[in-house]
Chains A and B, each alone.
Chain A
Amino acid sequence: MNNPYFDLLMWARGPGFDIALTILIGGILLRVVEIVVLGRKKDLAKPKGSPVSQGIKTIFTRSVPRKGMMKDAPVTYIGGYVFHIGFFIAFFFLGAHIALVDDLIGLNWPAANKALIETAAAASVIALLALAWTRVKDPVRRALTRFDDWLVLVLSGLPLVTGYVAVNQIFGDPTLMMAVHILSAELLMIAFPFTKLMHAVTFAMARYYNGSIQGRKGAES
């Protein structure tokens, strides 16, 4: 007699994870290396400013809203911050996730308590819903939104929701829900290199590039 929930969990922890990790790592490298190899045309003009320092500075300054933008699009900015910080806390400070990272790369750090993790996860999901709402409500955003955007939104939210359900055993069998949570994270891993989720890696490259162009021209980025 088998427990199908355990079979699913073992598939998620075994072949499922292997497939997802291979696609994630292979996909990220493919895209990053392709961008680097493609390169840019060399600018032969003498730089008027400092492209390197402005490039590095821009990596960080673009995380701060431009003047007036917070007032113009508060949900986008606040929702964006809350989602990213919440997701970061829920992923990096849950003991089970730290055990995963420890096994993957040998790094270990103290875990946070359940109250903080769950507050962060719940805030993240609420932020995602708010961001989805602005996409529907604002005609410009609605026109700009593609299937890819909805896919990324759903895939980002699923691990948070399923993780919350699995840890608190809100419904479903605990083994099944753990399997579903891992599978939802694996879906995110598979989609990562081929969707806008890739910004988590390329944001630094893109910001540096934009900042360095301004720096080369002698402008403050």
Chain B
Amino acid sequence: MNTLNLVLCAVAAASLDICALVLILTAYHERTSGKKRWGRMTSFMELADYSVTYPLNCDEILIGRHASADIRLPDLSVSRYHAIMTVSNGVWTITDIGSKSGIYVNGNLIKTTQLRENDVIKLGNRRLVFRRKGVY
């Protein structure tokens, strides 16, 4: 194997390497655009406690006291698995999944309902506001 062959091998390998690197960078770049698109698809909504905000990053958000819940409310009045929020067509829906204390949206006990901006959701003793991102 002479030097020319070795150089060509190196060139082929290096170009593939750089290409792989560029594509990884592309993927990272798309991470931002993906986030934006997700925001558009879900109307840029989030849930807020009086001190914490909870982002809504996937199409099924589990709310409860259990450690595996996506939004964890460490309060005994909240069931372990209390409610689930889903999105479709850009509209969020909250559904009771067998909680003890039920869900009150704007003071009404409901089983499942679509949410509107600035709805106040009461789970046990905890209140969460369904609001647009960046309002506060």
Do A and B belong to a common assembly? no
